Copies of this chain bind each other. A is one copy, B any other.
Amino acid sequence: MNIHRSSELDGIQDILDEIAAAMASRTDRGKAAGYIPELACVDTGQFAIAVAGVDGQVFCGGDVGTPFSIQSVSKVFTLTLALGKLGDTIWSRVGREPSGNAFNSIMQLEHEKGRPRNPFINAGAITVADLILAGHAPREAIGEIIRFVRFLADDETIAIDEKVARSELDHGDRNASLAHFMRSFGRLDNPVDHVLGVYFHHCALAMTCRQLAVSGLYLAAGGMNPMTGTRVISAERARRINALMLTCGHYDGSGEFAYRVGLPGKSGVGGAILAVAPGKAAIAVWSPGLDPVGNSKLGAEALEMLAQRTGWSVFGA
């Protein structure tokens, strides 16, 4: 890895402070996700950002001490775990194309006979949970996922917010519908309640921005965690996960995010976004208010500012 430590991260703390200040003054902050009380009641006044450089430095801005529910950002980690366990065979079960369509989800799933378009929409991540389960008890699969994320973050304190997980389960009819729908096409190996148990638990992982940025650092650093010196996945696989994040990471706002920010990213309805500047840094932002498509409103704006200030777009200087 041929990195230019000084030049790439020079002045980054000033940029983060500027971004945090700009975001603190915004009045139009989006709306928190409303489908479970645990997310609906989160204060949308909050904002945090962290940049973890491939040289191991970490910079933060905003409410960096507050843990949040990473929700769908966890799909990046379960995909990585499933690829590590099962390799490219998983692609027989899930596609690699953007769903690209506001009226997607179950209609598209019907058209394509229960095979999800990509691992980052709900149906695709449920499929990945089914693959990780592989006949084991949900408790074991959940344990494996937690251990993997702790390994990525090099932090044994990361845990699941059980209250969020239970609440997801109580309000999980849409996901239950997707899971039963796929199962009706013979696309799930495990019982629906097992699969959803795993899925809802990994979505309920709670992390700070610093923890999330470090967890995603392997995607910026050619598959290695430069802090621990351990290899997570091959460089090629890291590139490919980045490609999936860029085309599919923001639901039906993926094109817009690529256009405005120019970096691979994955959002969650808790208000988090993990973005990757390959060869440079992993960036985590969090602000609970969402835009109409379901992505963090200030999170995306902050990343757009960061990309402009640093010139970190993958699409050119």
Query: Which residues of A line the B interface, CB within 8 A?
Result: 1-2, 95-108, 110-112, 117-118, 173-174, 176-181, 183-184, 192, 219-220, 222, 235, 238-240, 242-244, 246-248, 252-256, 258-259, 262, 264, 278-279, 313-317
Contacts and interface: CB of A to CB of B under 8 A. Distances in A.
Contacts of A106: 106-107, 110, 177, 181
Contacts of A183: 173
Nearest to A220: B316
A243 B315 contact: yes
Total identical chains: 4
A184 B252 CA distance: 20
B105 A104 contact: no
Contact of A177 (B102, B177, B259): B177
Contacts of A248: 255
B173 A177 contact: no
Contacts of A278: 314-317
A35 to B, nearest CB: 9
B316 A242 contact: yes
Nearest to A100: B100
A99 B108 CA distance: 12
Nearest to A174: B184
A297 to B, nearest CB: 17
